[in-house]
Amino acid sequence: MKVDSLILKDFRNYEGVQITPGPGMNVFIGSNAQGKTNIVEALHLCCVGRSHRTSRDDEMIRWEQPFGRVTVRAAQQDGTHEVTIILARGQKKKKNIKIGERKAERIGELFGHLCGVLFSPEDLLIIKGGPAERRRFLDMLLSQLSTVYFYHLQRYAKALSERNAVLREVSQKPSLRPTLDPWDEMLAQYGAEVAARRMEATEHLSRLAASEHRHLTDGKEELTLRYVSAFRDTEDVRQKMLEQLFASREDDIRRQTTGCGIHRDDISIRINGKETRVFGSQGQQRSAVLSLKMAQLSFMAERKGENPILLLDDVMSELDMNRRLALGERISQIQTFVTCTDISDLGDTGNGVLFQVEKGMLTQK
Ligand SMILES: Nc1ncnc2c1ncn2[C@@H]1O[C@H](COP(=O)(O)OP(=O)(O)O)[C@@H](O)[C@H]1O
Ligand SMILES: [Mg+2]
């Protein structure tokens, strides 16, 4: 996939810009707080429908303005895809999506049009953070590839919050206990769908990440991923989840929250058999994220049949020569958007189109 136009209108500190990126490397260079990450955020927003740094959409609208808008147009094997996201301040519907000229009814319709991999310093949290970070990594990846996955995930989340609400009611009024049944059914049904895809994806990612990591460490380190779940190695996940939910009802009512299900799952990320989160050095943790991100890139490219775009925000300066080179080799065929404060951060990674970023203005060099 190749983005051939990006238009921002009242998005963050951009009043209005349009750029035509090159097919290879696009470098956004400037001092701090000029608007480099805002560009990456805009592109990512059109791929996944949400910001990578805020859950509040209106933060992305330029201050004092009622609306903000991003349009990304990209060429793919099957033709041109254009996604527009319109953000509205203080409106009931805060986010409107257009695919070409057509207004989308649901966020899920966004997926499948644009496809991107974002790599930023915060991704270290995939290794160092809690299970929710790792689940989000998988969920975002799989949602971009499958609208169905996204809908299953959404329905699971909805059923979970409904069941928790009912648990609170039941703790006051025990006769309401049977009203838990339909929510258990729904959790088990959607949970089984989500779990199956997450497990399959983790196994495949594990193979890809291992190979990236071997390359990065001259064969010294073996990186493995394993999906950690109460429902692993179960033939009928749906049935087992149903039984567990039923068995844990008393506890759940007492705690007023659902204690079992795929919202508790995790991925174990190990180097030479040891948990990277706990035992990995800073350097190993950084290499592991890089391998993971490269694996994500291959995974998405395989499933889509073409490369996604790659967004590298502030990561180049953090990589040593060796890793930078490995990354450079790997991305030579991929349209990349990279931000940095100094051109020397890029080393020999290659040259491409250079944009100077200053106070929400872009100048192509
Ligand atoms: N909603 C907004 N409206 C206007 N300016 C904003 C908004 N949100 C952030 N900014 C400004 O954008 C700049 C930060 O942009 P960012 O892309 O994160 O910088 P960097 O170049 O360091 O990556 C800051 O100057 C900040 O004040
Ligand atoms: Mg930045």
Which tokens is 185 given? 């059914």
DSSP state of 30: -
Is 122 domain-assigned? no
Residues 101 and 197 in one domain: no
Q: Which residues line ligand 1 (CB under 6 A)?
A: 12-13, 30, 32-38, 59, 61-63, 357
Look up the domain containing 35 and give its range.
Answer: 1-115+308-365
Task: Output the CA 6–ligand 1 centroid distance in Å.
Answer: 18
Is the residue at 121 inside a domain?
Answer: no
Question: Under DSSP, is residue 82 helix (H, G, I), strand (E, B) or coil?
Answer: strand
User: Do 234 and 313 reside in the same domain of the chain?
Assistant: no
Considering the domain boundaries, does residue 247 fall inside one?
A: yes
The neighbour count for residue 178, using CB atoms within 10 Å, is 8
Q: What is the DSSP track for 271-326?
A: ETTEEHHHH--HHHHHHHHHHHHHHHHHHHHHHHTSPPEEEEES-GGGS-HHHHHH
**120 located within any domain:** no
Q: Does residue 126 belong to any structural domain of this protein?
A: no
* 303 within domain boundaries: no
Owner of token pair 């939910």:
245
Closest CA to 313 of 43, 12, 11: 43
Last residue of a domain, one of 235, 263, 281: 281
Q: Are residues 256 and 187 in the same domain?
A: yes
Q: Are residues 178 and 73 in the same domain?
A: no
11 and 68 Cβ atoms separated by less than 8 Å: yes
User: What pLDDT does 61 receive?
Assistant: 98
Residues (pLDDT < 50) of the chain are none
Ligand 1 pocket mutation, candidates 13, 34, 44, criterion most atoms within 8 A of CB: 13
What is the reported pLDDT for 319? 84
Q: How many domains does the chain have?
A: 2
Cα(100) to centroid(ligand 2), Å: 29
What's the token pair of residue 175?
């006769």
Same domain, yes or no: 93 and 163: no
| CATH number of the domain encompassing residue 93 | 3.40.50.300
Same domain? For 215 and 168 the reply is yes
Q: How many CA atoms lie within 13 A of 347 on its CB side?
A: 16
Residue 262 confidence (pLDDT)? 97
How far is CA 100 from each of CA 3, 72, 85, 158, rounded to the nearest angstrom?
14, 10, 11, 29
Q: How far apart are CA 101 and CA 251, in angstroms?
A: 51
Q: Are residues 110 and 224 in the same domain?
A: no
Q: Is residue 312 part of a domain?
A: yes
- Residue nearest atom 17 of ligand 1, based on CA coordinates: 35
| Non-local CB neighbours of 81 within 8 Å, separated by 6+ positions | 73, 74, 99, 100, 113, 114
In three-state secondary structure terms, 76 is strand
Structure tokens at 251: 């506890």
Ligand 1 centre from 12 Cα, in Å? 6
Residue whose CA is closest, atom 7 of ligand 1? 12
Domain identity same for 268 and 155: yes
Which atom, in ligand 1's list, is nearest to the CA of 59? Answer: 1
What is the C-alpha end-to-end distance of the chain, expressed in Å?
A: 24
One domain, residues 244 and 358: no
For position 159, which CATH number holds? 1.20.1050.90
Residue 145 within a domain? no
Helices (H), the chain: 36-48, 124-128, 131-145, 147-172, 181-216, 237-247, 249-255, 276-279, 282-304, 321-330
Residue nearest atom 20 in ligand 1 by C-alpha distance: 33
314 and 268 inside one domain: no
Locate the ligand 1 atom nearest the alpha carbon of residue 359 and give its number: 25
How close is the Cα of 359 to the center of ligand 1, in Å? Answer: 8
CA of 103 to the centre of ligand 1 (A): 28
Cα distance between residue 9 and residue 2, in whole Å: 21
Please count the other Cβ atoms lying within 10 Å of the Cβ belonging to residue 1. 21
Which of 264, 281, 298 is the endpoint of a domain? 281
**Tokens representing residue 134 in the block:** 């790792």
Closest residue by CA, ligand 1 atom 8: 12
Asked if residue 109 and residue 23 are part of one domain, the reply reads yes
pLDDT at 326: 84
| 156 and 198, same domain (yes or no) | yes
Q: Which of 28, 34, 120 to mutate to test the pocket of ligand 1 (most atoms within 8 A of CB)?
A: 34
What does the alpha-carbon distance between residue 16 and residue 62 come to, in Å, rounded to a whole number? 10
What pLDDT is recorded for position 349?
A: 65
